Amino acid sequence: MPIVTGTDTAKTRRELVVGDQTVAYYSIPAAAEAGLGDFSRLPASLKVVLENLLRFEDNGFTVSVDDIKAFADWAQNGGKSDREIAYRPARVLMQDFTGVPAVVDLAAMRDGIKALGGDAQKINPLNPVDLVIDHSVMVDEFGNPRAFQRNVDLEYQRNMERYQFLKWGQGAFNNFRVVPPGTGICHQVNLEYLAQTVWTDTDQGGATVAYPDTLVGTDSHTTMVNGLAVLGWGVGGIEAEAAMLGQPISMLIPEVVGFKVTGALREGVTATDLVLKVVKMLRDHKVVGKFVEFYGEGLDNMPLADRATIANMAPEYGATCGFFPVDDETLRYLRQTGRDEARIALVEAYARANGMWREPGFEPVFTSTLHLDLNDVVPAISGPKRPQDHVALDQAAQTFKAYIASLPPAPTATVAQKVKMTAEGGAPSPQPGDIPGTTGEGAIAAAAVEGQDYALRDGSVVIAAITSCTNTSNPYVLMAAGLVAKKANELGLSRKPWVKTSLAPGSQVVAEYLEAAGLQEHLDAMGFNLVGFGCTTCIGNSGPLEPAISKTINENDLVAVSVLSGNRNFEGRISPDVRANYLASPPLVVAYAIAGDMNIDITREPLAQTADGRDIYLKDLWPSSQEISDLVDRIVTREMFQTKYADVFKGDERWQAVETTDSETYDWPPTSTYIQNPPYFQGMSQEPGVISDIEGARVLAMLGDMITTDHISPAGSFKPSSPAGQYLCERQVAPADFNSYGSRRGNHEVMMRGTFANIRIKNEMLDGVEGGYTKGPDGQQTSIYDAAMAWKDQGVPLIVVGGVEYGAGSSRDWAAKGTNLLGVKAVIAESFERIHRSNLVGMGVIPFEFTGGDNRKTLGLKGDEVISIHGLAGEFKPLSLVPATIRYADGTEKTVQLKARVDTEVEIEYLKNGGVLHYVLRNLARS
């Protein structure tokens, strides 16, 4: 057992002896002994935050004794507090889509601080930063052995400017490491290698100090590492930049929702089925801005990979995090993934000594609780538009048909004229009735691909992707997918020819164990060849469909379907050709690739037939839980992780060959269409400004409920006719080289043109129009970008109006940056998601909420109103109620009360400075 001894260093500082190492740490029990309060029944996640304050209070930061005592008050007040605290995470995690603009900002800040007379070296991360390049690989090639090599070649060809820039950043900034392309997805690399659960560092006196591993990340799924008892969540790039430059995260002590888990999963139920159920329950419980902590004896039956799956999707259920405390399973996973034995011993000793170990039967105080018996979870998918659209698998086909029936009538689509086979000796072209269930149901059209003719209809599955950090980090569901493929291949089955299949593991370890288990060859036979190590389809990098398929879908207005093992299925995200997207476990992805149609009830109807006419059902292919766990226990080894992560920062020959400059500030290439110096800090004064009232604003867009950051700032492809496409064409960039919005986030000119440009966004100012359109000053329909520039030329401020859960989804800061650059001064909505609200404030845009039951509909807003918001100048306080005067088109006026969602005093200072980075830059220049 560890030895705990008191020291004279500080009132809560103690020493912990573990084996032959002695470390200092900040003791929560010691804080109680010092009379600061009773913290014994705090949730483990809040104890991590409390330790953070104890440690920084002792080191002279702006933490008060009252901040510490507020945690004891939290437990006594039913899990609620209005206390504002300053939280400092230990490190920052980035991926390249969000990381490139963050490094662009840092480079611009170096220019900015020099212009203010400061030292460029003050712009350096004070906390460790890891950037993992995982968002750039696209699925151009698939279903063949050359897919991986071809996709990697195209990735480097398209993204060389970005990679040169990131290599410059790695050399120019301290505490900044880059994990090269082809390694894996940032969250899985974090879970399997970077995270330590308990971190150590050397203090100013030379002593080793142990403390909980904590982080923020520029990707909303940073929460995945909560499964390893590491407290972390997603923030926008601007907030992450402030954190890495030493600015604390200002936050209220959060409410914590306890999610009690009992029982065990039934036979045939996967972790994906479980997380989709959890997402539904917690989204209904309304946990936006809250911590969620899992507890109960059911955790004894939940492997860490399953916990990470649940933690990963915290953004989908709206929580700040989904935390699992340290227990024996935490230690087992650390050991299996190759962590040092001394570190594992420290994790156990520290967690026990500081009250963070999950004891049997322990139930902390929670703000509210939910309960789930794992035995009640059933196989499921979620779709067609939102992760919380939970559908039991045996109801999936029926629910899809109801969805199709609910859509507005489409143009009449008929079976196209039969296309002759190009392959010699081919069979006659199939007619609608040749596919089970197609006769008379939905729109049907013919397509010809790879020498084969077949009928497509509403519900044809055209993308089946094993993708994303959520599920490819879990060997149980990956092995299950491989076993389904093995059984199908041995029966002579394959994917339907119209299905684009792909396998994009979250780390190289996954490829290693699938190969070692003898399952990759069977996945290959089903078309699930390795296409790359990265996010691919889940982030919208699904690549183009076969031209004949794309043409058939669009000419006949078909509702094509994607099935992916991802975490997001928002409109317009996965592919511009696909309107219905479903989240499913990896083995179900394989099953739907074989079935090829969402209209088929795969729980009752055959997926396919063997060559001799035998019907094959899902139950014929599904492996048993014992079969899966035996394979995982036998194949997945500690040595695999140690080998694959031995040279994680080295990269392959391509990465090593990337050349860059060696300079303190960046030499912005004037002709680059990927990297441009942003305008945020140009002409910036040394003193902050003031917050002013908003006078005579016009409405740029009026939007509905659940507007996601994908709607506001899409990540996928765009057309030459779009404002962003026109910009690139004017600079002689061929459409084939557009890449994606996500890859262009280092160029503000592209991104501001892509703001509110999702192909599925609906502006209620227009009648039934989809896409990034609005009315300009002349009242005529035009693009959002062109209208915003026209209003800007007239000096008119702009407002965006939304519904509930505005800004759900990804942490992307460009949803706020683009809003700012379009001239939007305020967003008025019924409610905001946590990250986007913070990002808006961080970019100087004020978020407001309707009050008193008002919303855009009850107020009769049409988008042609003139809106003025007062009460912002002078003594503007956090969460103030302020008056807004609405002047309607007929000249009548109405005044309503809005709640300013500026939650803390620090955020007031951000707004006065024009944003959080301006605030930090001025402070650094002054110091």
For residue 561, the Cα-to-chain-centroid distance in whole angstroms is 22
Q: Name, in order, each residue with C-beta under 8 angstroms of 789's C-beta and a sequence gap of 6 or more.
A: none
Query: How large is the average pLDDT for residues 724-730?
Result: 97
383 φψ region: left (φ > 0), alpha (ψ -120 to 50), beta (else): left
Query: Among 161, 174, 183, 186, which residue's Cα sits nearest to residue 94?
Result: 186
The residue behind tokens 């079976």 is 415
In a 3-state reduction of DSSP, which class is residue 230? coil
d(CA 188, CA 222): 10
Residue 849 has pLDDT above 90, yes or no: yes
The pLDDT of residue 835 = 85
Percentage, residues of the chain above pLDDT 90:
81
In a 3-state reduction of DSSP, which class is residue 83? coil
Partners of 465 in the beta sheet?
502, 564
d(CA 284, CA 388): 9
Task: Please give the single-letter amino acid code of residue 509.
Answer: V
Residue 523 has pLDDT above 90, yes or no: yes
Strands (E), 412-483: 444-449, 452-457, 461-466
Q: Name, in order, each residue with C-beta under 8 angstroms of 361's C-beta and a sequence gap of 6 or more.
A: 297
Chosen CATH of 383-623 out of 3.30.499.10, 3.90.1300.10, 1.10.472.10, 3.40.1280.10: 3.30.499.10
The residue behind tokens 């790359």 is 532
Partners of 251 in the beta sheet?
85
For residue 511, the Cα-to-chain-centroid distance in whole angstroms is 23
Cα–Cα separations (whole angstroms), residue 692 to 419, 689, 695, 844, 851: 65, 9, 9, 11, 22
Tokens linked to 101: 């603009």
**Contact by Cβ (8 Å): 48, 231:** yes
**Contact by Cβ (8 Å): 487, 493:** no
Per-domain residue ranges of the chain = 3-85, 383-623, 694-926
The residue behind tokens 């491989």 is 482
d(CA 789, CA 32): 58
The pLDDT of residue 822 = 98
In which band, very low, low, confident or very high, does the pLDDT at 415 lie, cut at 50, 70 and 90?
A: very low
Cα dihedral sign, 521-523-529-535: negative
The pLDDT of residue 728 = 97
d(CA 679, CA 663): 21
d(CA 61, CA 56): 5
d(CA 483, CA 485): 5
d(CA 757, CA 782): 12
User: Lowest-pLDDT range, 322-336, 399-413, 678-692?
Assistant: 399-413
If you ran DSSP here, which 8-state letter would residue 556 be given?
T
Residue 425 has pLDDT above 70, yes or no: no
Residue 313 has pLDDT above 50, yes or no: yes
Residue 413 has pLDDT above 70, yes or no: no
Partners of 558 in the beta sheet?
none
Largest CA distance in the chain: 88
Tokens linked to 412: 């009449």
Cα–Cα separations (whole angstroms), residue 299 to 308, 374, 477: 12, 10, 18
The pLDDT of residue 6 = 37
Query: How large is the average pLDDT for residues 145-174?
Result: 94
Q: What angle do CA 488, 489, 490 make, to 5 degrees?
A: 90
The residue behind tokens 């290959």 is 524
The residue behind tokens 């980035």 is 94
For the segment 752-805, what is each residue's pLDDT rounded down to a tens digit?
A: 999 999 998 999 999 989 999 999 999 999 999 999 999 999 999 999 999 999
The residue behind tokens 């990465």 is 655
- Number of neighbouring beta carbons within 10 Å of residue 667: 9
Cα–Cα separations (whole angstroms), residue 324 to 129, 193, 306, 755: 24, 18, 11, 36
DSSP assignment of 415-427: PPPPPPPSSTTPP
The pLDDT of residue 876 = 92
- Number of neighbouring beta carbons within 10 Å of residue 692: 11
Residue 443 has pLDDT above 90, yes or no: no
Domain 694-926 listed as CATH 3.20.19.10: yes
- Number of neighbouring beta carbons within 10 Å of residue 651: 20
d(CA 276, CA 571): 18
**Contact by Cβ (8 Å): 464, 589:** yes
Tokens linked to 130: 């890891």
**Contact by Cβ (8 Å): 336, 641:** yes
At 893, give phi and psi (nearest 5°): -130, 150
In which band, very low, low, confident or very high, does the pLDDT at 444 lie, cut at 50, 70 and 90?
A: low
d(CA 371, CA 381): 21
The pLDDT of residue 742 = 87
**Contact by Cβ (8 Å): 105, 238:** yes
For the segment 475-513, what is each residue's pLDDT rounded down to a tens digit?
A: 999 999 999 999 999 999 999 999 999 999 999 999 999
The pLDDT of residue 540 = 84
**Contact by Cβ (8 Å): 597, 459:** yes
DSSP assignment of 616-652: E-HHHHPPPHHHHHHHHHHH--HHHHHHHTTTTTT--
d(CA 721, CA 728): 10
**Contact by Cβ (8 Å): 211, 198:** yes
Please measure the distance between the N-terminal and C-terminal CA atoms of the chain and give it in whole angstroms.
47
769 burial via Cβ count (<10 Å: 0-12, 13-18, 19+): middle
Residue 417 has pLDDT above 60, yes or no: no
Strand order, beta sheet including 214-217: 176-179, 129-132, 91-95, 214-217, 231-234
Query: Among 883, 759, 746, 873, which residue's Cα sits nearest to residue 817?
Result: 746
Which one is predicted more confidently, 869 or 242?
Answer: 869
Residue 124 has pLDDT above 70, yes or no: yes
Helix, strand, coil shares, percent, the chain, to 5: 35, 20, 45
**Contact by Cβ (8 Å): 208, 21:** yes
Task: Please give the single-letter amino acid code of residue 892.
Answer: T
d(CA 579, CA 561): 6
Query: How large is the average pLDDT for residues 724-749?
Result: 94
The pLDDT of residue 580 = 96
Tokens linked to 257: 């929702």
d(CA 304, CA 331): 10
Query: How large is the average pLDDT for residues 145-157?
Result: 94
Residue 54 has pLDDT above 60, yes or no: yes
For residue 180, the Cα-to-chain-centroid distance in whole angstroms is 20
d(CA 455, CA 468): 30
Query: How large is the average pLDDT for residues 535-554?
Result: 91
Decide whether 383-623 matches 694-926 in CATH topology. no
If you ran DSSP here, which 8-state letter would residue 277 be given?
H
Which one is predicted more confidently, 345 or 436?
Answer: 345
The pLDDT of residue 598 = 97
DSSP assignment of 184-200: B-HHHHIIIII--SEEE
d(CA 83, CA 786): 43
For residue 280, the Cα-to-chain-centroid distance in whole angstroms is 17
Task: State the chain's mean pLDDT as an integer.
Answer: 91
Residue 442 has pLDDT above 60, yes or no: no
For the segment 428-440, what is each residue's pLDDT rounded down to a tens digit?
A: 333 333 333 333 3
Where b means 16+ CB within 10 Å and e means fewer, 206-243 reads: eeebbbbbbbbbbbbbbbbbbbbbbbbbbbbbbbbbbb
